[in-house]
Chain A
Amino acid sequence: MKSIQTTTFDVMVIGGGIAGLQTALDIACQDYSVAVVEKGASIGGKMIRLSKVFPTLDCASCITTPKMAAAAHNDNITLFTCCDVKSIKRERTLSTQNISNSISPQNNNTQRNRFVLKAVVTQRARYVDADKCIGCRKCEYECPVLVSDVEQGGFSARKAISIPFSNAIPQIAVLDADNCMLCGKCEKICPTHAINYFQESYDFVIQANSIVLATGYEMTSLSDKPQYGMGKIPNVIDALQMERLLAPHGPYNRVLRPSDGKEPDSIAYIQCAGSRDRSMGVPYCSRFCCMYAIKQAMLLSGSLPLAEIRIYYMDIRAFGKGYEQFYQNAKAMGIEFVKAKVARVDAGEDGSVTLQYEDQNGYGMVTMNHDLVVASMGVISAWSPKGICNVSQGLDNFIHTINSKLSPTLTDMEGVFVAGAAAGPKDIVDTITEAGSAAIEVSKYLRYLYGKERGLKPVSTISSLKAVA
């Protein structure tokens, strides 16, 4: 049996999306060491894959890249990519730190009661030596295998070995073992001999005093929804795919519908396509779909000025700062808002998509054809603590928080905090503030732990307050 290596940090952040990065940065700025563990091959999460963000219409990649770079360049932050967390346990430990003589026996007692969090992490094989790869992409240019590129919504191809996307961090190639045909071309061309077909996954341990869960969200799949064609109807796409079509570095460099490359003249958004819908197991509101639909509609009317754009909605939830004004602007730009729940989606003629909905003007069931339909799918938790650690989930499967009003980032496991969409759907700005909030909880917790260890007077606790009250 191989001996398992242990690395120690003050804090471990699970998830390298915008929530995890902001949390890590806010903690690292106070000189605590932070490990960021990301399951993907690059940090940046969902945000780096977006086109622009509402309501500023800033380019998402332009404002995410600096954050990613700041985390990557921060001396206190260590990034682990292609990593899965297998288990997290609180373990009693004897501190290896030298304890100064000034500490009283009483404090030594607390010392003995000290717990740490130990996470077993699996480093998945990239088949590329991360230390040797210089990200020159020669392997990618040489590779003969084309694979559908999920990073581009499946609309274009990538190679079986590639850098995940142009502004990925780290810029290290990943080999897709499922599709590689072992032709050996990448191995031959690699100037630094970084390709290793025999690389294996291995486990290692990250020991930390505090953990932040920033595991983000996923979207429900179109294929779950029989009324909407189970994902079989061409030209019905989800919103993240539309983000790629709109992105400046997207698959076609402009908006074309996928089935035949036609420029769509009429585009429809189906809101609540997977949310507020008990049948989909997502009874809650996914919170940011209204805004991204409006944003995408605005961007579409910019790139396709003649196209008709319609949003079918139940309630427009433009609740954030500047959002309502953004919504009103979209209306003024001529984007059509139709209050209706779309009942059925079918394939129409020549690649068009047919929607059926109940008209609010009393015309009963109305049928409408569109060239391209975007379904705003439900937002669901991307990660479950089940079998990994003793953090509980809410009924919505997102991480349960125990003091949602005064300390919204507290979980029911000591030392473990949550930030961003891991604790329920959240837009970027709410994620950023929550990341800051988780970071201050971590800072307070570490100070409390280390303060006790160093014999410092602990900061106020509830019990000291009760006396006064």
Chain B
Amino acid sequence: MKDKKEDQKHKENQEYREDKKVGVYICYCGGNISDHVDVERVREYVENLPEVAVARTNMFMCSDPGQQLIMDDLKNGTVERVVVASCAPSLHETTFRSAISRAGINPYIYEHANIREQVSWVHHGDQATEKAIKLISMASAKAEQLSPLEPIRVNAKKHATVIGGGVAGLRAAKDMADCGIEVALIEKSQFLGGNLAPLDKIAPTGESAKELLSTLALQVLCHPSITIYAGSVVDSFEGYVGNFTLGVKQVEPLPSKAADSDITAEADISDIQKTNETDKYKKGDYIPFSGVFAVDDADFSNRSDSQNLSVSSNWKSHVIETGVIVIATGFKSYTPNIGEYGYKKIKEVITLPELIKSMADSLNSGRLSSQDSFTMQKGSACSGKVRGLEKFLEIDGRKIRSMAMIHCVGSRQTPGIHQENDSGQLNEYCSRTCCTATLNAANIIRERYPSTRIYDFFRDIRTYGRGQEEIYEKASHNQVIFFRFEADEPPEIIESRESQSGKNFESNSQLNNFPICVKAKDVLTFGEEIEAPVDLVVLATGIEPNDVSDLVQKMKLPVGADRFLLEVHPKLRPVELPVSGIFLAGTCQAPMDIGESCNAAGAAAVKAAAMLAKGYVELDPFVAQINLELCNGCGACVESCLSDGALRIVDIKADGELIKRAEVTPPLCLGCGACVGVCSENAIDIAGWTLRQYEAMVDRIVAENILAVIN
């Protein structure tokens, strides 16, 4: 009795409602639904719901005939709101929305009832049928309240900004410029090339880093659509996709990168001299270990005028209006802690980047003076010819008879075993590139200096990429001696110099003539203790993201637990961020090699190109909307807002009086609804997801009259 009364009341209420005719379309899903849900009984019931004009069924609602049913009903005015009851909305919500669009109707008058994944596959018998009825009834109640929405169209400037002038940044800049986009490239140092510059020959194909970099950097420098802001950083950030505003400020010249990494005392001095000599560089010059000089003559003269280089007020600042931003801030090589494997305590312990530079230096010293000497010929032609009969590698004039290379320094760190850095962090990740780089260096040394013996201490050899396994095979072939260690039992570096000071290091026959002994337990030979006497220890240091905390703060970028910037989805959307219009390229996102960085840069560039192709960007219309009549301008919503600038209180004129009201900047609104929950006046809602719609759905859940009808 009570049910019927309520039902009556319901029907009466109905008459006062705006007449929004809902069409309900129920899918059999070829038995997936109809095996458990009595679809025809559901149809009969829901057709009796007050707001429902028509309810139809189909074997596959997503098939063309199924979609046609909906389109026909919309076209001839039978229905004005659509509910499809089928599989999960993730599968076919867009299918049906686009069918509605094809019928010439606004696609946002659509609501989905999930009666497969959330009904027929999890409930059985009558319960499944009843639940399906409830879910459709809820969807229908919501559908009745839906109104047409328009996507937010934001005009987008056909301009992109790339932050970072390493290989990823250069590639992204060139790619976008080649697609007809004006590009601004901001680089902190005065050089282009980033971490590519300090490299020599690149594994596995042996290209010269100089050639790669010169080609790419010159293409960028000469591109008519690319403006380079060298020696500059981002100072301010505001705006949203299509319309970002960046403040760019020149900073005082950084010492060149080689000096940055603080290699040896001698290197320091020469690099400082180099820095002072930057006056001599012309834009486009290739400077070994630093990159391609990128400062304009104009900037250059400007700088010469100012006597005091540290007075930053003399430096220019710019404002860039841009449509998209590509972040390519790159990585830095891990610096071992003092004493980690003896680093900085024992002078014979160096890092792999230091080894690469030393090798190049030792090859160049005294032989050729021009910068061109840096270019090494392809293949291993250097060894015999260059050094004559010399069969040993020499570092700083010391003959290296035997050396150890230790992998995973600053990578794959394990809590409880490795020492955290000053900020309490561990690099738990694998740095991806060091195994191949280390073995590549080992091969070069073994081939050029066959008398130099190499011991390689590794955890796992990760030569995963195309052509990389061959480098590993070649290293074995070159008689590099491999020892495997476990994280909790790393090799020990023992100085044996004290005991034999003054002895002649030149005789290599005696074991104790070596300054260092590397002790380890070799897992490959069943845990045998081994001792390797060496002249040099090379640490294969990993990759750490550059410190971009200022950018992270200014642009509100998400950062992962590993301190790399965090993409939206690690599998399918690796170069995108939750903030529309900002993309990631290269090693700011994760360790990558050069090819992978270029791929990531290309992927970011294509996303940018697609976004800017039309001159405008369309965004979801699910954003906050304010009912100005209810709003009292209290500002609670602004306080609760999670996106800076999406909500603010403005003065508006009403009846000649200035009053305070909330205002939404739709492109910045995330549509999360944090503001809805705090509004005391119910004056704010998310379009398409209103509180009233939810309340109507809850009313349908608790309504008991459903059974009265079906029984």
A residues sitting closer than 8 Å to B (CB atoms) are 26-27, 29-31, 53, 55-56, 58, 62-63, 65-67, 69-70, 73, 134-137, 167, 171, 276, 283-285, 287, 315-325, 328, 339, 360-362, 394, 396, 398, 404-409, 423-425, 428-430, 432-441, 443-444, 447-448, 459-460, 462, 464-465, 468-469
Contacts and interface: CB of A to CB of B under 8 A. Distances in A.
A134 B59 contact: yes
A284 B233 CA distance: 43
Nearest to A30: B613
A40 to B, nearest CB: 20
A443 B179 CA distance: 7
Given A394-B466, A406-B171, A459-B178, A136 B574 contact: no
Given A320-B432, A440-B602, A284 B179 contact: no
Interface string B516-527: 000000011011
Given A440-B602, A462-B219, A318 B430 contact: yes
Contact of B462 (A319, A362, A430): A319
Given A287-B465, A405-B207, A444-B178, A320 B590 contact: yes
B574 to A, nearest CB: 5
Contacts of A339: 484, 523
B470 A284 contact: yes
B598 A437 contact: yes
Contacts of A317: 460, 462, 464
Interface string B593-608: 0111011111111110
Contacts of A468: 218, 221-222, 284
Interface in B64-113: 64-65, 90-92, 94-95, 98
Interface residues of B, number: 89
B349 interface: no
Nearest to B180: A447
Interface string B438-478: 00000000000000000000001111111111100100000
B460 A460 contact: no
B609 interface: yes
A427 B284 CA distance: 38
A55 B570 CA distance: 8
Given A30-B606, A321-B564, A469-B214, 15 more contacts: A26-B603, A30-B613, A285-B465, A285-B469, A320-B590, A322-B562, A324-B412, A407-B598, A435-B603, A436-B602, A436-B603, A440-B179, A459-B178, A459-B180, A460-B219
A301 B698 CA distance: 39
A405 B202 contact: yes
B659 to A, nearest CB: 44
Contacts of B572: 63, 67, 428-429, 432
Interface of B: 30-31, 59-60, 62-65, 90-92, 94-95, 98, 167, 171, 175, 177-180, 202, 205, 207, 212, 214-216, 218-219, 221-225, 284, 411-412, 414, 428-430, 432, 460-470, 473, 484, 523-524, 526-527, 562, 564, 569-575, 589-591, 594-596, 598-607, 609-610, 613-614
Contact of B607 (A26, A58, A321, A465): A26
A188 B465 CA distance: 54
Nearest to B598: A406
Nearest to B209: A405
A347 B50 CA distance: 67
B605 A321 contact: no
B599 A434 contact: yes
Nearest to A457: B224
B466 A404 contact: yes
Contact of B177 (A69, A167, A459): A459
Query: 3 closest Cβ contacts across the A-B interface?
Result: A436-B603, A437-B602, A29-B610
28 contacts: A30-B606, A31-B614, A56-B571, A171-B60, A283-B470, A285-B468, A317-B460, A318-B430, A319-B464, A320-B432, A360-B523, A360-B524, A361-B526, A394-B466, A404-B595, A405-B594, A408-B596, A409-B602, A432-B572, A433-B599, A433-B600, A434-B599, A437-B601, A440-B606, A443-B606, A459-B178, A460-B223, A465-B215
